[in-house]
């Protein structure tokens, strides 16, 4: 009776899992939570931009060319440029047989689409086409973040798959993947990226994703191979083998959930590197095509504007990229520490 009472009185408690402990450590880290809030804000901005709720009209020419930021104010040159860009009435040519028809057509166009006076200043200025730099930065962030996330997902997926096969089977399979890995790591990463870009000879977001994903799998592969070599000899995997579990089931149903935190940390690290790589590719002309804006294309345009003293597009793109990369790096470092069972 006493034993039964003690069993009833003692509440059944289950020990927290790896992810629960990691989330507990993350919540105790203020810097990690602040970095997570910044990353979440950028992801929310990406979703709103993709849905057209934010920066959907970034291509509208709402200001004069190179309109300065509002905190600087418009100078005499900006006012003269705005006056020169205003539509002017031209007298009809008496010798032109189509002058009357053209005048009537222009009048109809002005009636349906009245000319809008362009702004002299914007909150953070305008580019050479009169586009709002803030909206352009938001739209460019959509491209850069999507490239970073999708390319990191491709690289981690390939690295996990190759590492699982190599570490679990060993032997000739391991030798084959190690030979393939040695080829990729023997060539400098930026040279490998430029080589693949030159071979594809095609610009576009999906091209950049393929370039970065196909060249960035080596880091996840090395770590996942070591994890699979370590885990395949443990008791729970040997027990699964004893009850008749197949090799694929042991690899992806038993071992993978126990090493998934390594892949997650690698993905968060690769996102940072791939965002910077996209900027470099677009800056060198191998990135997004004409008509698609990204932080790299903005920096490419800004190098010519900087000579004219127009620094705001460079500052906007560089500041947004630096803020996201810093926040992602801090969060990835905190996540790696939180998922390490050796740290208390």
CA distance 207 to 205: 5
Reply yes or no on whether the pLDDT at 246 is more than 60: yes
- 19-64+131-339 has which fold? MetI-like fold (1.10.3720)
Give the per-residue pLDDT at 8: 47
DSSP assignments along 254-278, one per residue: IIHHHHHHHHHHHHHHHHHHHHHHH
pLDDT digits (tens, 9 = 90+) for 188-243: 877 777 777 777 777 778 888 888 888 889 999 999 999 999 999 889 899 988 99
Which of 108-117, 147-156, 326-335 has the lowest average pLDDT?
Answer: 108-117
Reply yes or no on whether the pLDDT at 85 is more than 70: no
73 vs 160: which has the higher pLDDT: 160
Give the per-residue pLDDT at 313: 92
Which is nearest to 219 in space by CA: 320, 332, 301, 125? 332
- 3-state helix, strand and coil shares in percent for the chain, rounded to the nearest 5: 70, 0, 30
Q: Where are the domains of the chain?
A: 19-64+131-339
Which runs of E-coded beta strand occur in 110-229?
A: none
CA distance 254 to 227: 13
- Whole-model pTM: value is 0.78
User: Both tokens of residue 154?
Assistant: 């491709």
Work out the number of other CB atoms within 10 angstroms of the CB of residue 10: 8
Give the per-residue pLDDT at 76: 59
121 — alpha (psi -120 to 50), left (phi > 0) or beta? beta
CA distance 130 to 58: 10
pLDDT digits (tens, 9 = 90+) for 34-69: 999 999 999 999 999 988 888 888 888 888 888 888
DSSP β-bridge partners for residue 126: 132
pLDDT digits (tens, 9 = 90+) for 286-328: 777 777 888 888 888 888 888 888 899 999 999 998 999 899 8
Which is nearest to 327 in space by CA: 258, 275, 252? 275
CA distance 278 to 288: 9
Reply yes or no on whether the pLDDT at 93 is more than 90: no
**Are 148 and 325 spatial neighbours (Cβ–Cβ below 8 Å)?**
no
Average pLDDT over residues 279-286: 76
User: Both tokens of residue 218?
Assistant: 């080596």
Half-sphere exposure of 290 (CA within 13 A, CB side): 0
* Winning range, highest mean pLDDT, from 134-138, 258-262, 307-311: 134-138
Q: Look up tokens 């699979």; give the residue.
A: 228
Work out the number of other CB atoms within 10 angstroms of the CB of residue 245: 15
21 vs 237: which has the higher pLDDT: 237
CA distance 39 to 157: 22
Give the per-residue pLDDT at 108: 64
What are phi and psi for residue 128, nearest 5 degrees? -70, -15
pLDDT digits (tens, 9 = 90+) for 156-186: 999 999 999 999 998 999 999 999 999 888 8
């Amino acid at each position: 009776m006493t034993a039964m009472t003690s069993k009833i009185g003692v509440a059944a408690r289950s020990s927290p899992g790896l992810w629960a402990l990691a989330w507990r450590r993350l919540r105790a880290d203020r810097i990690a939570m602040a970095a997570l809030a910044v990353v979440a804000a950028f992801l929310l901005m990406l979703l709103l931009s993709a849905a057209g709720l934010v920066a959907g009209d970034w291509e509208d020419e709402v200001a004069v060319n190179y309109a300065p930021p509002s905190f600087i104010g418009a100078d005499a040159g900006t006012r003269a440029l705005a006056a020169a860009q205003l539509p002017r009435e031209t007298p009809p040519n008496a010798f032109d047989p189509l002058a009357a028809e053209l005048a009537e057509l222009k009048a109809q166009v002005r009636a349906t689409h009245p000319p809008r006076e362009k702004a002299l200043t914007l909150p953070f200025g305008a580019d050479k086409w009169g586009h709002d730099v803030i909206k352009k930065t938001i739209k460019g962030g959509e491209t850069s973040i999507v490239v970073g996330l999708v390319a990191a997902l491709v690289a981690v997926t390939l690295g996990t798959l190759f590492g699982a096969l190599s570490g679990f089977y060993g032997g000739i399979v391991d030798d084959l993947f190690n030979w393939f890995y040695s080829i990729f790591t023997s060539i400098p990463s930026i040279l490998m990226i430029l080589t693949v870009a030159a071979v594809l000879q095609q610009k576009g977001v999906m091209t950049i994703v393929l370039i970065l994903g196909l060249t960035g799998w080596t880091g996840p592969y090395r770590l996942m191979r070591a994890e699979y070599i370590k885990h395949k000899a443990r008791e729970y995997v040997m027990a699964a083998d004893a009850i008749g579990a197949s090799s694929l089931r042991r690899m992806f149903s038993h071992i993978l959930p126990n090493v998934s935190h390594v892949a997650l940390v690698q993905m968060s690290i690769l996102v940072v590197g791939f965002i910077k790589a996209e900027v470099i590719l677009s800056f060198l002309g191998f990135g997004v095509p004409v008509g698609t804006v990204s932080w790299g294309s903005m920096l490419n345009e800004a190098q010519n504007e900087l000579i004219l003293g127009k620094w705001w597009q460079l500052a906007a793109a560089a500041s947004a990229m630096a803020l996201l990369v810093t926040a992602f790096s801090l969060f990835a470092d905190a996540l790696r520490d939180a998922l390490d069972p050796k740290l208390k």
